[in-house]
């Protein structure tokens, strides 16, 4: 059990009171579990961790954490940008926030494609598709909701946003106008 960081022992005192800090830094502040696994593997197979190995672990952990945060922010921003193009719909008593937007099922599908990770898209038949945003929210698009309009639904942890698409009004011409 000597010098076994997996079981949290360090009888030679090679890392001592710095162990929690080394682990935290190697995990990129807790955001990069992949790096944490790599650091644990390196630490479990060697008796000492050099300053260079620690620096590399910190650098890799920081890059992975920053990338994960950027991807999450990008996904949140694209959903927020989409919501900003809508007008508020009917209020509900629950956790659903309704929105309306001019357009057809084609508009709804374009918006769906804009916010989901393409690798997660599944065709469910009858024009229904599901997928996930890059930050992990479930999204579905369907040609008809309970009120008959095309709907894009974004399921967050706290709220569910439903965007109902209204076909734009057909232009009305007065007699004698072209």
From first to last of the 178 residues of the chain, give the pLDDT tens digit.
456 656 655 555 555 556 556 565 555 554 444 444 444 554 455 556 677 777 777 777 777 766 665 555 454 568 889 999 999 998 888 999 999 999 999 999 999 999 999 999 999 999 999 999 988 999 999 999 888 999 999 999 899 999 999 976 556 555 665 5
Of 74, 97, 126, the last residue of a domain is 74
The answer to whether residues 94 and 162 belong to one domain is yes
Number of domains in the chain: 2
- Please tell me the distance from the alpha carbon of residue 110 to that of residue 113, in angstroms, as a whole number: 5
Per-residue CA distances from 153 to 26, 119, 141, 160, 166 (Å): 38, 18, 6, 7, 15
The answer to whether residues 34 and 100 belong to one domain is no
The answer to whether residues 63 and 96 belong to one domain is no
* Tokens (6 digits) for 74: 């990008």
pLDDT given for residue 112 in this prediction: 96
Tell me, yes or no, whether 178 lies in a domain.
Answer: no
The answer to whether residues 89 and 160 belong to one domain is yes
- Please tell me the distance from the alpha carbon of residue 44 to that of residue 105, in angstroms, as a whole number: 55
The answer to whether residues 122 and 150 belong to one domain is yes
Q: Which residue has the tokens 């996930």?
A: 132
Distance spanning both ends of the chain, measured CA to CA: 89
Tell me, yes or no, whether 174 lies in a domain.
Answer: no
* Tokens (6 digits) for 69: 């945060």
The answer to whether residues 133 and 99 belong to one domain is yes
pLDDT given for residue 51 in this prediction: 77
Tell me, yes or no, whether 175 lies in a domain.
Answer: no
Is residue 161 exposed (0-12), middle (13-18) or buried (19+ Cβ within 10 Å)? buried
pTM for the model: 0.55
Residue-number span of the structural domain to which 20 is assigned: 5-74
The answer to whether residues 59 and 11 belong to one domain is yes
The answer to whether residues 19 and 53 belong to one domain is yes
Q: Which residue has the tokens 């900003």?
A: 84
Tell me, yes or no, whether 177 lies in a domain.
Answer: no
pLDDT given for residue 37 in this prediction: 47
């Amino acid at each position: 059990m000597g010098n076994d960081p997996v079981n949290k022992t360090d009888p030679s005192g090679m890392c001592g009171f710095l162990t929690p800090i080394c682990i935290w830094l190697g995990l990129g502040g807790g955001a990069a579990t992949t790096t944490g696994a790599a650091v644990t593997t390196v630490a479990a197979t060697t008796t000492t961790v050099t300053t260079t190995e620690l620096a590399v672990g910190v650098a890799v952990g920081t890059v992975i954490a920053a990338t994960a945060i950027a991807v999450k922010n990008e996904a949140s921003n694209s959903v927020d940008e989409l919501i900003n193009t809508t007008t508020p719909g009917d209020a509900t008593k629950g956790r659903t926030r309704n929105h309306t937007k001019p357009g057809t099922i084609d508009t709804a599908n374009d918006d769906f494609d804009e916010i989901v990770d393409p690798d997660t898209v599944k065709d469910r038949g009858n024009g229904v598709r599901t997928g996930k945003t890059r930050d992990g929210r479930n999204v579905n698009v369907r040609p008809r909701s309970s009120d008959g309009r095309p709907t894009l639904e974004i399921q967050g942890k706290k709220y569910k946003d439903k965007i109902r698409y209204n076909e734009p009004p057909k232009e009305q011409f007065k007699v004698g106008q072209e």
